[in-house]
Amino acid sequence: EHSLSINPTKTELVLFTRKRKVEGIRAPLLFQKHLQFSESVKYLGITLDKKLNWSKHIQLKAEKANRAFWQSRRAIGKLWGPSPKAVLWLYTAVIRPMFCYGAIVWWPRTRLSTTVALLNHVQRLACLACTGAMRTTPTAVMEALLDLPPLDLHVREQAILAFLRLKNKGLLNSRGIEGGYSRILGEAIKR
């Protein structure tokens, strides 16, 4: 009726497993063409890798945020350009939400030191641009001056808020609350 069809060359197939070697699985056929297995796929703005450990998603988000920051940085100088308040707004309203999108699914990754270091790097660039401080200034000091929580804690906070929004609207079933979301519920109760 609408003459829509699926293009097998554009179809991505990811086998979600934590096994190192997967043997005996053949790629399925779609319109007489074998589909190719892929390491990751982007769906609704979230990159899903085959082990669902979210490292690729966070890496891509960090690269995108760095690109956006450096593109806006061209208009920002130490002695000219937007005010520090405008730069802080740019970071909190544009760049930081890039990380928080979908945080309800990938927030456990923020417990790893590699992820914390990556998030700190992104926030540090913004703090340096907002304060005009020397590059040797500690990140924690700049965050305190700007009243910014560390980015990993902000991601956890946004994940908790998303969970509570879903729970209050009745969009979570009891299995989800008892199962996968129990950790985030525990984080919310600790706070």
Domain residue spans of the chain: 54-190
Q: 41 with 14: CB under 8 angstroms?
A: yes
Greater pLDDT, 99 or 158: 158
Residue 29's φ and ψ, nearest 5 degrees, are -95, 140
Pairing state between β 40-43 and 46-49: antiparallel
Task: End-to-end CA distance of the chain: give it in Å, rounded.
Answer: 54
- Count other Cβ atoms within 10 Å, centred on residue 13: 14
Per residue in 106-140, pLDDT tens? Answer: 888 998 999 999 999 999 999 998 888 899 999 99
